[in-house]
Every structure is written in structure tokens, then in C-alpha cells.
Amino acid sequence: MHKYKTAIVGCGGIARAHMQGYELLENIDVVAVVDPIEEARTNYMEDYDIPEGYSTVKEMLVKSQPEIVSVCVWHLLHDTVTEEVAKGKSVKGIICEKPMAIGVAKADRMIKACEENGVKLAVSHQRRFTPGWERAREIILDGAIGIPLRADLRVKEGLANWGTHSIDGARFVLNDPKPKWVMGAVERKTDKYERNTAIEDSCMGLIHFENDLQFFIQSDLLDNNCDAGKFFIRGTEGMIHITETVVKLFNGNTNGWEQVDIHLEDGDQAIGGKTNASQTEELIRWIEGGPEHRGSGYKARETVELMMAIYESARQNEVVSIPMQEKEYPLEKMVTEGKLPVTIPGRYDIRGFLDRSNIDEKRYKQLKDDGLPHHIIMRTLHEEQKTD
Ligand SMILES: NC(=O)c1ccc[n+]([C@@H]2O[C@H](COP(=O)([O-])OP(=O)(O)OC[C@H]3O[C@@H](n4cnc5c(N)ncnc54)[C@H](O)[C@@H]3O)[C@@H](O)[C@H]2O)c1
């Protein structure tokens, strides 16, 4: 059995989920990490017993010669880091975090760099591997709801942040239908960011696919009943309610709403690490000549385009046809063009608490010794800083 030398770029929260997946696989050997923040790097190396740590991708690629690399940095770095990693001589596969990129041009550059260097690119829409979504896809393809007509998606905390999972997920369970056009509306009265990316206060979009299928997505319009892993789909002969672990069906053969049997091996708890392991296994099969990964860069690029088209429709006040012409980030363009004036000044970042560049590392260590997980420590430090 070949063991793939693997490296992780960015030692924050989601990198820990990648590691939980890698730990389940015998053919993965995590040899190195990269993070410019020394404490982030050393904590992570200690926690998972990883031998090599570097402050730059360049040094890691030369010294560690990884074959698989996880890109776990913030969105605005996904394109440049992926492009740099793809050029590493030893690299065969990359798992880049979601959202793939902020703007279609960046996604295209990532795909090009990987194609030019013979690297397989997967994007971590890892929920494509959850048992609920897999089973729902199976029975929808089997005709359980007739011809699918409308998917209803409700998310919060940013379209690119949560909406990417929902749009991508609904595409997955509906067998990646071909999009035709998008109409969107966007509000941004506050100077809102998410992991350093300018985002909207709220937005909604109607996405029209071939065969009259439509997705309606609302983002940050509701606080309750929002979930990136959950959607409701209506078809000509039935309705289906889908979460990552529960699927409920209503059609002419059911007695009202009925729960569908799905294959749950270890219950809900196992999903985090297992989905990351599954997406890695599928990447390895793709590297070794198997079929395209279900969460490939090609698939994720379409999700990026649909999200960008929602913004572009609001920017142009018109229906946007797919493929769309605009390749940069339409929301940022709207901000620059003065189309979204901020009426409540003051920049804020809804994931700013994750920024480790200016925290009290001694206090971090105390909280870690108390047994708190990384993201809770970061939230706690943020709250403590506010009250100081
Ligand atoms: N798939 C999912 O369900 C899921 C869940 C959470 C986060 N994410 C995604 O993962 C990405 C990272 O989010 P996070 O919450 O882990 O952030 P985080 O802030 O916890 O971690 C990011 C890490 O990257 C490091 N870093 C910054 N610049 C770097 C560089 N040039 N090279 C190497 N490391 C660098 C930071 O020091 C930090 O330790 C985001 O794009 C986010 O959307 C995905």
C-alpha cells in the first residue's frame, strides 16, 4: 500500500477536521504543516504529533515533498496558496477549503494551475459525503419526488460562507443540474466582513436550471431554521426534507411524511472526521486514475459562479445568464462603485475572533490546558478582550 505524504497549510480550526479525517486513513502520513504564526504551528504539531513545521509554503514544498496538501487558510488566500502548492514538484492532489474562491477568475486560475501541473483539485464541500445527502440523491434519482421543481435553501453568516455548502449540496443531491440564469437581491448597510472578505448584510437569489428546476436561497434574512446542511425540495410527485443525517419523504406511496432509512454507521458524531476521510479517499482514487471527485474544483467552480451571479444580478439590476461575463467579485465592485453605501459605519468581521495574530498566547495555553477546543478558546479570548 502506498502511503501518501501529506501536508496541511493553515493550522486553525478547519485544519483540525482535516486531521481527524487523515487519522482514519492508513494510506495517509501527515508529515508537515505550514503557518506563519509559530504558536499555531507548534500547538498543532504537538496535538497531532507532526514532525515538520514551516512558516512558508515554499520551504515546506521543497523540504517535505508532499503528495497531498490541505489548503486551510482564509478564502482570499485560497487561489494564491493553491496555485503555489500546485507547482510543487511532488504534489498530486489538493483539498482546498470552501468557498473555493471569491470570484470566478480566481477559481479559473486555481483550475488552470492544477491542470498545468497534473494536480487533482478537490474543494472541501465535504457534506457531499454525508449519509443523508447521499441517500437523498439516490432516491431522488430513483424518482421518489418525480421531476424536481424547487429547492428551498436558508442560510446565515454569509452567502459565501454557509451558502456555498447549501448551493453545492442541493446541486449534488439533484445530480449537478445545468444552470441557466440567476436573479438576486443584496443589502449591505453595515461594513460587514467574514474572514476578511467583504460580505452582505443579507441577500437572496433565484437560480434557474435546465428542466425548469429552481433553487431559492435566502441568506441572513432569518435567524431560525437556517442550516447549510438542510434543504427542502418539491417535485411533481412528492417532497423531500434533507439534512446530513435525516431524510424525510412525502409522496403517493408514503403514509404522510416518512423517515427514509439511511446508512448511519456510527451516528451523527462520526460525521466530521468521516466526511473528511471519505473526500480524501475519493481524491486518492482520482489521483490513481479513478473517476472525477464528486467535489472537484470543476464542480465547486460552478457553485462559485452561482453565488457571484446573485451579486452580479443585484449590481446590474438584471437577470444574469450563466456562463456569466463578470469574473471578479461583484459585491466588492458594488461597494467600490458606491452602490451599497454603508449607513451604520464601523468595519466588523463576524469571524474576526479566529484571527490569532494578536492574541494572548499564555491565556490560550491556560484555556487549552483546561481542555477547551480551539474555536471555543478563540471565541473566549475575543470576549475577554472586549471586556478588558
Ligand atoms: N468545510 C467546512 O465546513 C468549513 C468549516 C470551517 C471553515 N472552513 C473554511 O476553512 C478556511 C479556514 O477557516 P478556519 O476557520 O480554519 O480559519 P482559522 O483562522 O481558524 O485558521 C486559519 C489559519 O491559517 C493561518 N494562515 C494565515 N495565512 C497563512 C499562510 N499564508 N500560510 C499558511 N497559513 C496561514 C492562520 O495563522 C490560521 O492559523 C476558510 O476558508 C473557511 O471558510 C470550512
Q: What is the mean pLDDT of residues 146-170?
A: 98
Which protein residue's CA is at the shortest distance from atom 28 of ligand 1?
A: 73
In angstroms, what is the span from residue 379 Cα to ligand 1's centroid? 15
What is the rounded distance in angstroms from the CA atom of residue 277 to the CA atom of residue 87? 24
Q: What are phi and psi of 102, to 5 degrees?
A: -100, 90
The yes-or-no verdict on residue 388 having pLDDT over 70 is no
Which protein residue's CA is at the shortest distance from atom 17 of ligand 1?
A: 12
pTM of the model: 0.97
Please state the atom number of ligand 1 nearest to the C-alpha of residue 15. 16
Write down the pLDDT at residue 268. 52
The yes-or-no verdict on residue 269 having pLDDT over 70 is no
Q: Average pLDDT of the chain?
A: 96
Write down the pLDDT at residue 150. 98
Question: For ligand 1, is residue 350 a contact (CB within 6 Å)?
Answer: no
Q: If you count DSSP H runs as helices and E runs as strands, how many of each does the chain have, helices first?
A: 12, 18
Q: What is the mean pLDDT of residues 358-378?
A: 93
pLDDT in tens, 220-229: 999 999 999 9
* Residue 288 CB neighbour total at 10 angstroms: 11
Question: For ligand 1, is residue 40 a contact (CB within 6 Å)?
Answer: yes
Query: Does CATH number 3.30.1950.10 belong to domain 128-267+302-333?
Result: no
Question: For ligand 1, is residue 6 a contact (CB within 6 Å)?
Answer: no
Please state the atom number of ligand 1 nearest to the C-alpha of residue 57. 32
Q: Choose the residue to mutate in 8, 9, 14 for probing ligand 1, maximizing ligand atoms within 8 Å of C-beta.
A: 14
The yes-or-no verdict on residue 293 having pLDDT over 80 is yes
For the sheet with 190-194, list strands across it.
Answer: 197-198, 190-194, 344-349
Cβ neighbours for 236, distance < 8 A, ≥ 6 positions apart:
145, 146, 147, 149
Q: Where are the beta strands (DSSP E) in the chain?
A: 4-9, 28-34, 52-54, 68-71, 93-96, 120-123, 148-155, 179-187, 190-194, 197-198, 202-209, 214-219, 231-235, 238-242, 247-251, 258-259, 320-321, 344-349
The yes-or-no verdict on residue 341 having pLDDT over 70 is yes
Question: For ligand 1, is residue 76 a contact (CB within 6 Å)?
Answer: no
Q: What is the mean pLDDT of residues 234-258?
A: 97
* Integer CA distances (angstroms), 348 to 154, 187, 195, in order: 23, 16, 10
Closest of 117, 21, 119, 116 to residue 72, by C-alpha = 21
The yes-or-no verdict on residue 281 having pLDDT over 60 is yes
| Domain residue ranges of the chain, discontinuous segments joined by + | 4-127+271-295, 128-267+302-333, 358-387
- CATH of 4-127+271-295 among 3.40.190.10, 3.40.50.1970, 3.40.50.720, 3.10.28.10: 3.40.50.720
